[in-house]
Amino acid sequence: MTLEPAVHPRITNTCSVGKPGAGPYGIAGGPDGALWITLIHSGAIARLSDDQCTIYELDSPACRPAQITTGPDGALWFTRSGDDSIGRLSATGAQSSFALPADTTPFGIAVGPDGALWYTAVGTNKLGRLATDGAIEELSLPAERAMPSMLTTDHDGAVWCTLNQAHALARATPDGQLTIHPLPNESARPVGITATDDAVYYTDIARAMAGRVSPDGQTTELPLPDPNARPHAIIASADGGVWLTEWGTSRVAHLTPQGDLTELALPPASEPHGLARGTDEAIWVASETGHVIRIAP
């Protein structure tokens, strides 16, 4: 493990996004090469390109956009955790939204192998599927109050999500077959999740760990040095490893496929949440305190 000094030279750009208190949270690369960021506290989406930031105010300031992804139609799709709906924003700024059942509280979102938008329903304990024409299907999760959180799609075409309150992961095939993968420790509180070519990785926010699930279902826990790290988001890296945010300690960390760890310190009190890879393989971090931070490749 290598701990880099505070505000490492690889942090080459820190951009202020939105008005004070807007809360940059989720982040994704768009089909136009720009970065798209949810502003969870102000009900808006930001587009960042070449240091130019455009803010798209949504139709409800209280909609609380959380996670965001590029859809199969080239638009940006995002969960509106405050008003039980999924939002759509075209690359030119055209807005629409799709209402979900009451009390859904959607959070995670990802494109499935079937071209639909899959989402987690925190409020109703379900895994949902939204077709681009608005058709909705939902799968009930077997564990009561499992709190499904973030989503990813693996190389076999299955959708995985973390079950934060059930110390488990869920795997769903496009035809609706659901499998629960318990984690080794009942104190685990998984949040972020991503897939590489040969494994699924997740973050355990309560126990300051990352975890790796191999194709045969074996779980390996990878502790972080600081017990206060509170790891949150996680994405695959270009070398087959992963990057993750340490929300509690204002760091990002990189894990190689062999399990070697490097941590980079961000500006103090950054509250890093979302992560995205840029077109040049730089890593971008959404900081809830008001910035988007670039880490050079």
Give me the active site residues, please.
273
Coil, strand or helix at 130? strand
What gap in Å lies between CA 146 and CA 166, rounded to an integer? 5
Q: How far apart are CA 174 and CA 281, in angstroms?
A: 30
Q: How many CA atoms lie within 13 A of 61 on its CB side?
A: 3
